[in-house]
Amino acid sequence: MKTLKDIKVGARVTVVKVHGEGAVKRRIMDMGITKGTEIFVRKVAPLGDPIEVNVRGYELSLRKADAEMIAMAVESLKEVGLNDFQIHIGHVGFFEGLIQETQLGEEDECLLRELIHNRNYFGVDELLERRQAKITTKTAFQNLPELIGGVEILRDAKKIALNFKILEAVKRLEQVYKLLVAYGVEKYVTFDLSMSGTFGYYTGIIFRGYTHGTGDAIVKGGRYDNLLGKFGEDTPSIGFAIVIDELLNSFVRQKIRIVLERKTAVVLYDEERILDAISLTKDFRAKGKQVELIKKEPGIPVSAYMGNARNSMCGSLLYMKKSKEIEMFNFVSGESKIVTLK
């Protein structure tokens, strides 16, 4: 049985079965994709995400990577030991839709973006008052500081949707949230509709990760569909970066201990033992062990290699002497012994 990703552009197909389960399946059916529905595939991105289709007389973009990327950011932070953090999610379309309603000149628009970025909402109100913005526009911007919180704020956001662009952004956030529930990461999610991202860079979903003990976000990401087009490849894209300096600051201030496993073994050998050393290394690697092979240089004591191995978080060092002895050091237990090969 073919799935939607197997269908070529321009084809018309009929839904035989809706796969998935729980929240994901319900969302698919909420979008009108049910058994017996005819679907026309309009466009498929080079990497298969998104797929644009016509369903029941309207256009629909099926994109799952936004939620997947946010869920990956959550799991990444949990994997390194953080548990108390939040991923703030916004949408460029919501902010840009509000900006359109102001009808400001280029200079005033830049000032407005800066004021909102700095959370100076008094300055925003004064600027819109001076430029005689519509009451509905001023009210929408006055509500921005309140549009930070759980999924319930998306209902409030719809009330100030002054144009189609704003409404579509909110609907997209609702879609993403339902997928995040399916991923089981919704407790780490905060919506922040005042987020604007870097002007001209992000094109859709934007997100930032925050935790205690840092001066800035520890995760920065979002959708930037126009970026690769500047390099000759018009491909939708989304990604995120973990800001290592801020992450390490949070570890220190939250007193999170980083536990590193000492798995790598160092095989140190005298030049006369190179064939034996290679044979031993191959045997270790065949068993799935991590091994670093190092030739001992004349005049450099074994203790220097041991110190370097410890600092590199290696678990052990085996020194293959030209005398056929193997001196073994276990850095985890502190034990050492000498084995003589016949």
Quick one: 247 and 170 in the same domain?
yes
What is the per-residue pLDDT across 131-180, written as a single tens digit (0 to 9) for each?
998 999 999 989 888 999 999 999 999 988 888 889 988 988 998 998 89
**Which residue, 206, 224, 253, sits at the end of a domain?**
253
Tokens of 160: 């100030």
Looking up residue 80, the CATH number of its domain turns out to be: 3.30.930.10
Quick one: 143 and 239 in the same domain?
yes
Contact indicator for 23, 186 with CB cutoff of 8 Å: no
Quick one: 100 and 208 in the same domain?
yes
Quick one: 229 and 149 in the same domain?
yes
Quick one: 180 and 167 in the same domain?
yes
Rounded to whole angstroms, what are the CA distances from 7 to 25, 33, 85? 20, 15, 40
Answer with the residue of higher pLDDT: 302 or 179. Answer: 302
Domain assignment present for 260: no
> Closest Cα to residue 104, out of 131, 135, 122?
131
**Which residue, 188, 218, 253, sits at the end of a domain?**
253
Domain assignment present for 259: no
Domain range for 316 is 265-340
Domain assignment present for 229: yes
Domain assignment present for 258: no
Quick one: 175 and 279 in the same domain?
no
d(CA 137, CA 144): 11
- Tally of domains within the chain: 3
Average pLDDT for 296-324: 92
What is residue 274's predicted lDDT score, i.e. its pLDDT?
93
Helices and strands (H and E) in the chain: how many: 11, 15
Quick one: 194 and 306 in the same domain?
no
Answer with the residue of higher pLDDT: 195 or 59. Answer: 195
Q: What percentage of the chain carries pLDDT values higher than 90?
A: 42
What's 165-216 look like in SS3? Answer: HHHHHHHHHHHHHHHHHHHCCHHHEEEECCCCCCCCCCCCEEEEEEECCCCC
> Could you tell me which residues come within 8 angstroms of residue 237 by beta carbon, excluding any fewer than 6 positions away?
223, 224, 225, 227, 228
Average pLDDT for 57-74: 78
Quick one: 173 and 78 in the same domain?
yes
Quick one: 113 and 77 in the same domain?
yes
What is the per-residue pLDDT across 200-255, written as a single tens digit (0 to 9) for each?
688 889 999 999 988 899 999 998 877 767 777 666 788 999 999 999 999 989 98
Quick one: 151 and 221 in the same domain?
yes
Quick one: 149 and 244 in the same domain?
yes
Looking up residue 306, the CATH number of its domain turns out to be: 3.40.50.800
What is the per-residue pLDDT across 242-259, written as a single tens digit (0 to 9) for each?
999 999 999 989 988 877
Tokens of 125: 């109100």
286: left (phi over 0), alpha (psi -120 to 50) or beta: alpha
Quick one: 155 and 89 in the same domain?
yes
What is residue 5's predicted lDDT score, i.e. its pLDDT?
62
